[in-house]
Amino acid sequence: MHPLLHLKYRLLAPLVLVLGAVIGYPLAFSLWVSLHNYTLTAIGQAKLVGAANYLGLLANPSYWRAIGNTVTFVLVAVGLELILGFGLALLLHHRATPLRHLFRSLLLTPMFITPIAVGLMFRFLLNSQLGIIPQALKALGIHVDWFGSRLALFSLALIDVWQWTPFMLLLLLAGLEALPTEPFEAARVDGASGWNMVRYVTLPLMRPVILAAVVIRMLDAFKVYEYVYAITRGGPGESTETIQYHIYRVGFLYFRMGEAAAMAYTLIIVVLILVIILFYVLRRSAT
Amino acid sequence: MKGKLLITILLALALGITACGPKPTPAATPASEAETPAAAATTAPPAPPSETVTLTVIMEQVPDYDIVAQLTPQFEAENPNIKIKFDAMPYDAMRDKILTSFLAPQATYDIIIVDNPWMDEFAKAGFLTPLDEYIAATPGYDFNDFVGPVREIGVVDGKVYGVPYYNYALGMIVRQDLFDNPDYQAKYQAKYGKPLTVPTTLEDYVQVGQFFKEQGIYGAAMQPQRGYKVFEEWKNWLYAAGGDLMDAQGNVIIDNEAAQKALELYIEMYKTAAPPDSLNWGFDESLRSMAAGESATMISYNWMLPTLNKPGGPAGDLAGKFALYEVPGGKAVLGTWHWAIPHNTPNKDAAWMFVSWLTSKMVDKQRVIMGGAPTRVSVMTDTEVWEKGFGKGYYETVLKILEDAEPLARGPHAEEIINEVGTYLNSAVAGEMSVAQALKAAAEKTREISARP
Q: Which SS3 state, helix, strand or coil, does residue A131 take?
A: coil
> Quick one: pLDDT at residue A195?
84
Please report the sign of the dihedral spanned by the C-alpha atoms of residue B243, residue B247, residue B250, residue B255: negative
Q: Best-predicted range by mean pLDDT among A44-48, B42-46, B48-52, B129-133?
A: B129-133
Is the CB of A235 inside 8 Å of chain B's CB atoms? Answer: yes
Burial class (CB in 10 A: 0-12, 13-18, 19+), B3: exposed
Residue A41 lies in a domain: no
B286 contact residues in A (CB cutoff 8 A): none
The Cα B271–Cα B278 span in angstroms is 10
Is the CB of A147 inside 8 Å of chain B's CB atoms? Answer: yes
> Quick one: pLDDT at residue B24?
31
Burial class (CB in 10 A: 0-12, 13-18, 19+), B223: buried
Is the Cβ–Cβ distance between A225 and A116 less than 8 Å? no
> Quick one: pLDDT at residue A285?
66
Out of A75-84, B61-70, B123-132, pick the least confident: B61-70
Out of A126-130, A230-234, B226-230, B374-378, pick the least confident: A126-130
Is the CB of B324 inside 8 Å of chain A's CB atoms? Answer: no
Confidence of residue B12 (pLDDT cuts 50, 70, 90): very low
Look over chain B and give the mean of its residue pLDDT values, rounded to a whole number.
Answer: 89
Is the CB of B127 inside 8 Å of chain A's CB atoms? Answer: yes
Which residues form the domain of A222?
A: 59-286
For B295, nearest residue in chain A (alpha carbons): A129
Nearest CA-CA partner of B222 in B239, B207, B237, B242: B237
A239 contact residues in B (CB cutoff 8 A): 430, 432
The Cα B266–Cα B441 span in angstroms is 18
Residue B46 has pLDDT above 90, yes or no: no
Give the CATH number for residue A73.
1.10.3720.10
Number of domains in chain A: 1
- Global pTM reads 0.82
Q: What is the pLDDT of residues A126-173, one digit of tens each?
A: 988 778 999 999 999 998 889 888 899 999 999 999 999 999 999 999
Largest interatomic CA distance in chain B: 75
Superfamily of domain B2-168+335-405: Periplasmic binding protein-like II (3.40.190.10)
Is the CB of B223 inside 8 Å of chain A's CB atoms? Answer: no
Determine how many CB atoms are found less than 10 A away from the CB of residue B400: 16
Q: Which amino acid is at B256?
A: N
Q: What is the pLDDT of residues A202-211, one digit of tens each?
A: 998 998 899 8
Residue A135 lies in a domain: yes
Nearest CA-CA partner of A108 in A177, A175, A178, A163: A163
Query: In chain B, which residues fall in CATH 3.40.190.10?
Result: 2-168+335-405, 170-333+413-450
Residue A24 lies in a domain: no
Please report the sign of the dihedral spanned by the C-alpha atoms of residue A56, residue A60, residue A62, residue A65: positive
Q: Which SS3 state, helix, strand or coil, does residue B218 take?
A: strand
Q: Is the CB of B429 less than 8 angstroms away from the CB of A236?
A: yes
Beta bridge partners of B166: B337
Q: What is the pLDDT of residues B180-218, one digit of tens each?
A: 999 999 999 999 999 999 999 999 999 999 999 999 999
Is the Cβ–Cβ distance between B343 and B129 less than 8 Å? yes
The Cα B280–Cα B274 span in angstroms is 12
Residue A168 lies in a domain: yes
Nearest CA-CA partner of B212 in B237, B191, B236: B191
> Quick one: pLDDT at residue A1?
65
> Quick one: pLDDT at residue B423?
94
Is the Cβ–Cβ distance between B339 and B162 less than 8 Å? yes
Residue A266 lies in a domain: yes
Residue A75 has pLDDT above 50, yes or no: yes
Confidence of residue B373 (pLDDT cuts 50, 70, 90): very high
- For B292, residues 6+ apart whose C-beta sits below 8 A from its C-beta are A129, A130
> Quick one: pLDDT at residue A190?
87
Percentage of residues in chain A having pLDDT higher than 90: 59
User: Which residue did the predictor score with more confidence, A127 or B29?
Assistant: A127
Q: What share of chain A is helix, strand, coil (3-state, %, to 5)?
A: 75, 0, 20
Minimal Cβ distance to A235: which of B225, B276, B412: B225
Q: What is the DSSP letter of B443?
A: H
Burial class (CB in 10 A: 0-12, 13-18, 19+), B371: middle
- For B316, residues 6+ apart whose C-beta sits below 8 A from its C-beta are B291
Residue A35 lies in a domain: no
| Alpha carbon distance, N-terminus to C-terminus of chain B | 28
Fold of B170-333+413-450: D-Maltodextrin-Binding Protein; domain 2 (3.40.190)
Is the Cβ–Cβ distance between B156 and B123 less than 8 Å? yes
- For B293, residues 6+ apart whose C-beta sits below 8 A from its C-beta are B175, B217, B315, B318
Nearest CA-CA partner of B256 in B443, B434, B104: B443
For B275, nearest residue in chain A (alpha carbons): A129
Confidence of residue B43 (pLDDT cuts 50, 70, 90): low
Burial class (CB in 10 A: 0-12, 13-18, 19+), A15: exposed
User: Which residue did the predictor score with more confidence, B150 or B453?
Assistant: B150
Q: Is the CB of B423 less than 8 angstroms away from the CB of A237?
A: yes
User: Which residue did the predictor score with more confidence, B378 or B35?
Assistant: B378
